Chain A
Amino acid sequence: MPAASPALVVRDLRVDLAPRGAPIVADISLTLAPGEILGLVGESGSGKTTLANALLGYARRGTRITGGSVLVDGQDILALTDGERRAARGRLIAHVPQDPAMALNPLARIGGSLSETLAIHRRELPPAARAAAVAAALADVGLPNDPAFLRRYPHQLSGGQQQRVLLALAFILRPRVIVLDEPTTALDVITQAQVLDLIRGYCREQGVAAVYISHDLSVVQDLVDRAAVLYAGRLAEVADSRAIFAQPMHPYTRGLLGAMPGVDRRHALSHIPGHAPSPGQRPDGCAFAPRCARATDLCRATEPRLTEGVSGTFVACHHPLLQTPLERRTAQPSTPAPADRPALLTAAGIDAYYGANQVLFDVGFSVQARQCTAIVGQSGSGKTTLARALGGLGSAVTGELVIGGTPIGIGSSPRARDLRRRIQYIFQNPFRALNPRQNVADNLVAVVRHFFPVSAQEARERARAAIARVALPATVLDRRPGKLSGGERQRVAIARALLCEPEVLICDEITSALDVSVQAAVLDLLMRLKAEGLTILFVTHDLAVVRVIADHIIVLKDGRIVEQGEADAVLDRPAHAYTRRLIADSASAAELALAS
């Protein structure tokens, strides 16, 4: 711990829901030295965004900061008057929001937003000095600062550029502390890496402390000095980043790391059963107890306090694992395609158009039965268009498609009902995959009776079996999708697909909207289904997931296949420069260190 006076000291911070008073975030205590980056990791519902806002003394509608203090350079933000607090925001402690597209005022030009911040906080600056400061701020984040760029509107910038503008807005007043709320989630892997470098460099050079909030451990691992894990509104574990990855003490942290896929090696993922309780529904005692294999009556009765474990580390658990390091089991490698058997699904000469411009250029490939073929590409590579074309959607698509020897219409061209049954599709956003007005049983029964001439009774029976097969409790059948978590809904979607007894299951980024722990469970399920004979076509941009599940990889760039081959071979020895670039940006330095 560097000796200089701490940049940020948070003591017993607590934020409650406004009307009902149930705690969203409680007992938060942290200290941060200048130049130090603290990673704050938490899955959805853990209250990380509420915490981020509370550090700047801001509570969204429906929430209220009810206790604790936030000292920045010795000044308690929460105790300031409204006027003083407003002055402190930006100058003392700055904030970088999550989704760049939504966080910039669409009517304000880039230059305007920047000079406005200066005009408010640094009134004494004459216009010329202010313009210079704006230009300097843009240069710091690697953006052009010519007048044309300054006059641009947010919608005229790329995602990465927008995020850099937000960084400039945060850096411009030289704050002592910066709070970054998942700044890279909305970006593609390559831009994400650039932004992370930018942040790391800035904090080091300016000696600025930073709190980097994320739901993705792999991103945090590479950037932060110390990491803190947030679960159900409470700090589960705080430790040096290297220590936490090697020797996680809290069962939840251990579970998270276990569920984290890595690009470097094919890990066998272990997932955490159940899902995190949302504010107001948290059980007594340790919130993680219901999901913890080591839970005892003590855990269920009393709330564990954050106590110091090994020097410099803190853990809130009655039975922390102090000595046992984390071992990552390696799954068996991807099975190469057997030469003799014919491909189950072959596609050739696929072209697709979006309006006037072409998106797919003469794409052709084949998918082996009982294997998982991954289609990998960044946003805009056309992978989703391709997937939808195979699944049976998309009007401006041409090409041949053959399944099990019989030709099948591509895109929205007509298909026989039995052929439609053999290919099933799972969508990315679980919250829009199920009809909200029908309960799960009705959703499933309708599909069964569409494809198979069975009675309602028989259909309901099959539905119950499918739900069990995707490891969901039978009680889910009578509930409406609205009452289920993201992970549960995605499993129901998979169950719906399984009911059709498909031969090929196309998964379009089905885990990207899920938390790491839930993603692991779903990937686990898919691998079990593959083992039971299902052929899977997995579309994603996340190479770590590909490493876990794929046997065969097809890399797509700007509508063309640049490389394809056996999964481990392609990932270990990428031939094409673009693939190499993707792998480099996905794998974090620390993880590489772990692997060696």
Chain B
Amino acid sequence: MMVFDSLLALIIAALAWRCVTVRDLFQAIVTFIVLGLMLALSWTRLDAPDLALAEAGIGAGLLGVLLLSTWRVVRDAGPDQGEGPPPSPWVRTAAAVGSIALGTAFAVVLHTVEVDSDRAGGLALESLGEAGVEQPVTAVLLNFRSYDTLLELGVLLMALIGAVLLRSPLIHRPAAEDTGTESPLLPVLVTVFTPLVLLMGTFLVWAGAHSPGGAFQGGAVLAGAGVMLVLGGRLGGDAQVSLLLRALLILGVSVFTVIGLLLMPLEGAFMAYPEGLVYPLMVTIEFSLALSIGLTLLLLFTGTNGLRGAPA
């Protein structure tokens, strides 16, 4: 396995180097996506299947689509979209020296670090019995360190508001001249796959309690279904936003916060779940999170305020 790991590590490093140095932007983006997949692979090797799922779904998949779509805008704008003059050789040399030093330092540190094995994670594994779920990462995310997760949802919401403020939509409806030539297979793809993908997303959320998966991965898959609908022309961005959509967008963070706040006077601490209710509460939270995450990611993709079904 050492050989395989070494090869994978080498590929990762080479892809990273190529992504940064290759001249063509498109190639850089594609390399980045491949890099994401390779990382996902390496993370399964490192006992982190949850993260591999997340990286493949969000980091490479969703972000990849977004990058490619943005690349189209960049390409259409013409060649002069680069930022000023290229850095001087001095800057390049300094950056090279700096990055080599940084990399060496990190490599040395990672090889010599004396890892403390008496740590919070070990405690988390021991306390799984009180956490209400079997899957340790889910327990950490939704129980032991649920506050982080809650705040992180805020980050998603903020990024969305920022994108909306920019009014730079990226709605992928087939362009007018393309409508006549639309592939007959595309509707098939959308019709067959969307329910399956939705099912899989839901499964991932539900499975999060005992096996790899969870709200984030499930949400990402849900968003993927949405992206597919958008690309297939079944769903489009809209400048108007319905109250329902907004309510769904904030569902996760609101449910999370309200449960936490309501139980605070009873349990004496914010986000402390009463015994017996831990599992149902966590499932409720997880599903509302997944829904909000999926919709937020989808809207980040369309870059619009709202969504509209099957545009005329």
Does A associate with B in a complex? no
Measured CB to CB, the residues of A under 8 A from B are none
